[in-house]
């Protein structure tokens, strides 16, 4: 992704917000950060642990951010300190991006009923769905009344995707949480939406079994016969987080080259993707 690909402007000028979920330059959250920064947003970042600071630190600096807080969403103390830091430095925020998910690698290959354990289920739902409820509650306490929130989901919530397993269940919960949070915060004018992105090569995607086949199949079977461009996901986030998204809330917006819209894919490209 070249810098000039992110349209510049003032759509986010005067808006400040938190982006949770940048691990490296391939993270979807990073594409969103670059797009929001290109439109004038001031951004604070969280990073998951010391090991990731080495990568996230320089990225945050490159978009002029000076708020970088360590946060593990399973640890209440780090959640407390993240939002206390924002309150202390900024007082109020205008947006939240939640781009966090996790399931153990053992849960993400093979049969759903055989692989899903109680602990694996609890941890996937805690990190990938509950964390949005928790972050949204904390963010709403310091959010201006015309603020907005976005989370990242995937089609595995609506349909069975091989190996996605418990993460599909977590994403279904996340999308339901999005609607409930939207209803709670709607009267204040705060909008809450989910972006359902097609497969993108990131650290998280690498944890899912048969990833290579997934990309080939998505390319062949989507309406656009192409993989999802992170730029499109970032553009959707800009729309939903800026005033352009007025009146849009509780929505799960697909940015996947139209993969979700297809009932029966074209035979030619699909044959190649399946037989290879």
Toward ligand NAD, which CB reaches closer, 47 or 239?
A: 47
Q: What does the DSSP 8-state code read for residue 136?
A: H
Q: Are strands 191-197 and 93-98 parallel, antiparallel or unpaired?
A: unpaired
CB 194 within 8 A of CB 146: no
Residue 62 main-chain phi, psi, to 5 deg: -65, -20
Q: How far apart are CA 122 and CA 178, in angstroms?
A: 19
Footprint of ligand NAD on residues 23-42 (CB under 6 A)? 23, 27-29
Toward ligand NAD, which CB reaches closer, 1 or 189?
A: 1
Site membership for ligand NAD, residue 135 (CB under 6 A): no
Q: Binding ligand NAD by CB under 6 A: which of 68, 100, 129, 185?
A: 100
Which positions are catalytic?
A: 154, 164
Site membership for ligand NAD, residue 154 (CB under 6 A): yes
Site membership for ligand NAD, residue 48 (CB under 6 A): yes
Q: Binding ligand NAD by CB under 6 A: which of 16, 17, 21, 163?
A: 21
Q: Binding ligand NAD by CB under 6 A: which of 67, 79, 177, 200?
A: 200
Sign of CA dihedral 106, 112, 115, 116: positive
SS3 state of residue 127? helix
Site membership for ligand NAD, residue 204 (CB under 6 A): yes
Q: Between 230-241 and 28-38, two packed helices, what is the crossing angle to 10 degrees?
A: 50
For ligand NAD (CB under 6 A), the number of binding residues is 27
Site membership for ligand NAD, residue 150 (CB under 6 A): no
Site membership for ligand NAD, residue 257 (CB under 6 A): no
CB 93 within 8 A of CB 142: yes
Beta-carbon contacts of 166 under 8 Å, excluding residues fewer than 6 positions away, are 103, 107, 108, 112, 115, 116, 120, 121, 124, 125
Burial 180-192 (b: 16+ CB within 10 A, else e): ebbeebeeeebbb
Stretch that binds ligand NAD, among 84-92, 94-102, 140-148, 238-246 (CB under 6 A): 94-102
Provide the minimum distance between the beta carbon of 267 and ligand NAD in the complex, in angstroms, as a whole number. 25
Q: How far apart are CA 207 and CA 243, in angstroms?
A: 35
Toward ligand NAD, which CB reaches closer, 191 or 253?
A: 253
Q: Binding ligand NAD by CB under 6 A: which of 1, 5, 53, 74?
A: 74
- Would you tell me which residues interact with ligand NAD (CB under 6 A)? 21-23, 27-29, 48, 52, 71-74, 99-102, 127, 152-154, 197, 199-200, 202-205
């Amino acid at each position: 992704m070249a810098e000039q690909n992110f349209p510049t402007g003032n759509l986010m000028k005067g808006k400040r917000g938190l982006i949770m979920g940048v691990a490296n330059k391939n993270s979807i959250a990073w594409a969103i950060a670059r797009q929001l920064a290109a439109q004038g947003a001031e951004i604070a970042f969280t990073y998951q642990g010391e090991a990731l600071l080495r990568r996230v630190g320089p990225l945050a600096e490159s978009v002029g951010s000076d708020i970088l807080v360590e946060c593990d969403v399973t640890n209440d103390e780090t959640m407390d300190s993240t939002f206390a830091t924002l309150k202390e430095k900024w007082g109020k925020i205008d947006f939240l991006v939640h781009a966090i998910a996790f399931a153990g690698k053992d849960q993400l290959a093979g049969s759903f009923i055989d692989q899903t354990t109680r602990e694996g289920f609890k941890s996937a739902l805690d990190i990938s769905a509950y964390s949005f409820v928790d972050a949204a509650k904390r963010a709403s306490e310091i959010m201006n009344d015309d603020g907005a929130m976005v989370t990242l989901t995937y089609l595995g919530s609506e349909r069975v995707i091989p190996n996605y397993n418990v993460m599909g269940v977590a994403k279904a919960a996340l999308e339901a949480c999005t609607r409930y949070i939207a209803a709670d915060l709607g009267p204040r004018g705060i909008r809450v939406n989910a972006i359902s992105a097609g497969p993108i090569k990131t650290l998280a995607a690498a944890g899912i079994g048969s990833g290579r086949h997934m990309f080939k199949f998505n390319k062949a079977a989507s309406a656009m016969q192409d993989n999802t461009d992170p730029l499109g996901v970032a553009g959707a986030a800009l729309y939903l987080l800026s005033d352009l998204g007025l009146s849009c809330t509780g929505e799960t917006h697909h940015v996947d080259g139209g993969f979700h819209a297809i009932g029966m894919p074209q035979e030619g490209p699909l044959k190649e993707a399946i037989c290879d």
